[in-house]
């Protein structure tokens, strides 16, 4: 089963949207297998956003993601990486359709509420960077047979 990393960014925490954002993924049927409130260090931020190093917005991105606590989680389910990106909506909230998280809760690119891994390789790397193996829980839900076909 696929896993992906999500981050409810500082603006999501400050605006009181943690529950509403997580609720989107729970309602869809994905299982939360890891979840915690953390303050991202500059070192972890630099690792996480290494692909953007050197871009004009990089310094601001690091400053922002380290500015306030975030909620970081690992979701599990069929096709969870791509489906999570679809539920988030595109990076630019003004291009994000209504019904997506960014379409419903954001107007600015740098304050777009949610991060989600963009592929299998980044998901594995990001989950390893934010969670120790013992922090990820493998557990059955009573609803699993009503969500996931054999
Ligand atoms: P995404 O978060 O959709 O994966 P990304 O990985 O390209 O998008 O960029 C990471 C974050 O950096 C994004 O959520 C908002 C910010 N960002 C991206 N491109 C930007 C730009 N051109 N100017 C300002 N901020 C930008
Ligand atoms: Mg990205």
* Chain-centre distance for alpha carbon 8: 6
Residue nearest to atom 1 of ligand 1 (CA): 91
How many angstroms is it from 27 CA to the middle of ligand 2? 23
CATH number at residue 42: 3.30.70.141
Edge-first strand order for the sheet with 114-116 is: 31-38, 70-77, 2-8, 114-116
What does the pLDDT read at residue 49?
A: 97
pTM score: 0.98
| Domains in the chain, number | 1
Domain interval for residue 27: 2-147
Q: Which atom number of ligand 1 is nearest to the Cα of residue 116?
A: 4
The tens-digit pLDDT sequence of the chain (150 residues) is: 999 999 999 999 999 999 999 999 999 999 999 999 999 999 999 999 999 999 999 999 999 999 999 999 999 999 999 999 999 999 999 999 999 999 999 999 999 999 999 999 999 999 999 999 999 999 999 999 999 999
pLDDT 10s digits, 20-61: 999 999 999 999 999 999 999 999 999 999 999 999 999 999
């Amino acid at each position: 089963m696929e896993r992906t990393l999500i981050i409810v960014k500082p603006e999501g925490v400050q605006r009181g949207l943690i529950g509403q954002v997580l609720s989107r993924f729970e309602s869809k049927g994905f299982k939360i297998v890891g979840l915690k409130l953390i303050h991202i260090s500059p070192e972890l931020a630099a690792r996480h956003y290494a692909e953007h190093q050197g871009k004009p917005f990089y310094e601001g991105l690091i400053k922002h993601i380290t500015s306030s606590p975030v909620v970081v989680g690992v979701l599990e389910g069929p096709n969870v990486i791509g489906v999570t990106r679809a539920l988030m909506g595109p990076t630019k909230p003004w291009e994000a359709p209504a019904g997506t998280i960014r379409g419903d809760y954001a107007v600015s690119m740098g304050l777009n509420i949610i991060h989600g891994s963009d592929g299998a390789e980044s998901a594995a790397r990001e989950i390893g960077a934010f969670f120790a193996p013992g922090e990820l829980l493998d557990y059955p839900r009573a609803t699993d047979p009503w969500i996931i076909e054999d």
